[in-house]
Amino acid sequence: MSRRNIITLVVMALLAVLPPVFYLTGNAFYLDLATRLTILAIAAVSLNLILGYGGLISFGHAAYLGIGAYAVGIPAHHWLYGGLESLGLATTSGYVQIPLAIGVAALFALVTGAICLRTKGVYFIMITMAFAQMMYYAIVSIEEYGGDDGLVIDSRSELPFIDLDDPLQLFGLAYVSLVVAMLIVRMIVNSRFGMVLRGAKGNNERVVMLGFNTYLFRLTAYVIAGAMAGYAGALLGNFTTFISPEMMDWGRSGELMFMVILGGTATLVGPVIGATLFIVLEEVLSSLTVYWHLPFGLLLLAVVLFGKGGIMGMLRADKEDSE
């Protein structure tokens, strides 16, 4: 077994075992922390598909988290206060909310991606950010859903067999979702589709000359990543039970990017390690000092400058490419 696979298994095992142990020994707070980082890790894993394997530096990924969260919050709001019954959107049913989160996120990715992917380099970064900010201001302007004050989700999604009001079950769902997301990404990047996507990252002109329409491959990956992040957003809404436009702000997108780069792009478990470090460091440092942003920033800077390839890059001795 390669070193990478061992690291992946160890990280995932620790993430499965430690949070419930903390919870059952009376440290409920740590379970909360773990649930949040697990959900953000799903978004980071999805971002890694396009950023790490596709070389597409999307600076608007938090928009999908927001879309997913509002896809839970808006139906729950109408369920309580009325409206949209005719559309079937006044509901707390997870069967409606989760497909809605995935569907709207995928649609947003399809429409914006079709435009963004016509551009390259810095322009791509800027335009993905611009679309996400458009989403942000759109939500801010809708007063019915709280505008920039945000929206309280009075009731979590109802799912069969799972009670999301139970923190342990919510964590369990997030964890299983993360594992599934990682398996999906691993499957995609090792497929023939994935080979084209990775080839286009390394040398797009060459891959076009081989006869591939790389635009379509990238757009497809972009939509898959958006849909996955939309799902993560639905979980996030259920976790925080409060959503605000602030969670789709460009700074949030930057944090997701940082998780991916910190952990190691184009590695399966890198985004998970990145998300974990990010959330834990944020927590530890902010408990030590109100000026925690300074050491936090310096630490992150050091990893990027000296640890080429992020944490996974530092841990990895071999250069083999397989997962």
Partner 1 sequence: MTMLETRSLMKSFGGIRATDDLTLSVEPGELHAIIGPNGAGKTTLITQLCGSQKPDSGTILYKGQDITRVPAHKRARLGITRSFQITSLILDMTVIDNIALAVQARQGSSFRLVRNARTISAIRDRAMELLTRVGLSDKANMVTSALSHGEHRHMEIAIALAAEAELMLLDEPMAGLGAEETRAMIDLLNGIKGQHTIVLIEHDMDAVFALADRISVLVYGHIIATGSPAEIRANKDVEAAYLGEESGAA
Interface residues with partner 1 (CB under 8 A)?
A: 187-188, 190-196, 198-199, 202-203, 205-213, 216-217, 220, 319, 321-322
Of 1, 12, 3, residue with least CA distance to 275: 12
Shortest distance, CB of residue 221 to partner 1, whole angstroms?
9
4 or 156: whose CB is closer to partner 1?
Answer: 4
22 or 193: whose CB is closer to partner 1?
Answer: 193
Shortest distance, CB of residue 236 to partner 1, whole angstroms?
26
Q: What is the DSSP letter of 166?
A: S
216 or 304: whose CB is closer to partner 1?
Answer: 216
Shortest distance, CB of residue 269 to partner 1, whole angstroms?
18
82 or 211: whose CB is closer to partner 1?
Answer: 211
Cβ(247)–Cβ(236) below 8 Å? yes
What is the Cα–Cα distance from 60 to 256, expressed in whole angstroms?
9
Of 88, 100, 50, 48, residue with least CA distance to 237: 100
What is the Cα–Cα distance from 153 to 233, expressed in whole angstroms?
13
Shortest distance, CB of residue 183 to partner 1, whole angstroms?
11
Cα-based distances in Å from 113 to 105, 149, 215, 252: 11, 29, 10, 19
Burial class, 21, CB count within 10 angstroms (exposed 0-12 / middle 13-18 / buried 19+): exposed
49 or 74: whose CB is closer to partner 1?
Answer: 49
Shortest distance, CB of residue 212 to partner 1, whole angstroms?
6
Tokens coding 247: 């969670």
